[in-house]
Amino acid sequence: MNMKINPLAEFLELSEEVTDALSCGRPVVALESTIITHGMPFPQNLETAQLVETEVRGSGGIPATIAIMEGRLKVGLSKGQLENLAEQAERAAKASRRDLAVLLAGGGLAGTTVATTMQIAEAAGIGVFATGGIGGVHRGAEDTFDISADLAALGQFGVGVVCAGAKSILDIAKTLEVLETNGVPVLGYRTDDFPAFFARSSGHPVDHRLDSVAEIARVIDVQRRLRLGGVLVANPIPKEDALEAGEIETRITEAILEAERGGVTRKELTPYLLGRIFELTDGQSLVANIALIRNNARVATQIANALCELQ
């Protein structure tokens, strides 16, 4: 999308490195920042962010971590900005699309969700985005109507999103139904099964299996040219890092019941559940989380390289 006609353009602030890479046709991979502000405690959040950026660079790409700082949409954080965001995580907001105007007007500090990162990435001209797992339909949504804005964003913004499926705390069957309603193609990278974040399979099929990054890049390219919105690339957690599906499901159920008893809802729910699951798995979930986001960053960069070759 042309930045000159995008309403976000006046608030965008791309780093010199990202600007140069985009102008030269080099691969750039967008990275979200709620994993820094709301996904992990300090200093693990900083260490993970640095590891993910290193994965992108090691695969031949330029990382563009996205966050909101001082009333600007920052695309590509400096070393100092990344450190500041990680250290100030407790006071940072969690910026979904509904929060953008308030945060920009007030000059707030915020990590960007999948939905907001997609919106900013498209405005900046970045075609590929690596995250851990997307948000989706929460369990019990038939009563709470708790459905992540990520799903609507995937149907609207022309970015290829590489993830390890939907977060295991969600109702994955309903999440896939809403993705279908929003016209989002779900591509399985070397898998027929939609992954469940910590586990390699959710028991639900993907729409299409593709076994090469070149094939995925071609789909993203055509999807963007047709202006049909985003593409979801489901990339399972590596076998050696995956958790046993039955065991993690038991821990998730326990965490959800505790959240219900404590009245934890809406935007506080996901961070609470991920934190509680970390405790219930004796830290194994954090190890798995770091492994899968690094793996997604590698695959996203390979796709970004393939996209550059097409264009």
Lookup: tokens for 24: 């030269």
Structural tokens at position 162 = 């590489």
CA dist 279 and 291 (Å) reads 18
Give the separation between CA 217 and CA 229, rounded to whole angstroms.
14
Task: Specify whether 17 is catalytic.
Answer: no
Instruction: Catalytic residue, from 32, 53, 55, 122: name it.
Output: 32
- 232 token code pair: 């979801």
Q: Which of 165, 62, 81, 47 is nearest to 121 (CA)?
A: 62
The SS3 assignment for 12 reads strand
167: annotated active-site residue: yes
Give the residues across from 233 on adjacent strands.
162, 187
User: Which member of 53, 74, 94, 167 is catalytic?
Assistant: 167
Q: How far apart are CA 144 and CA 79, in angstroms?
A: 40
* Burial class of residue 73, CB neighbours in 10 A (0-12, 13-18, 19+): buried
Which residues are tagged catalytic? 32, 167
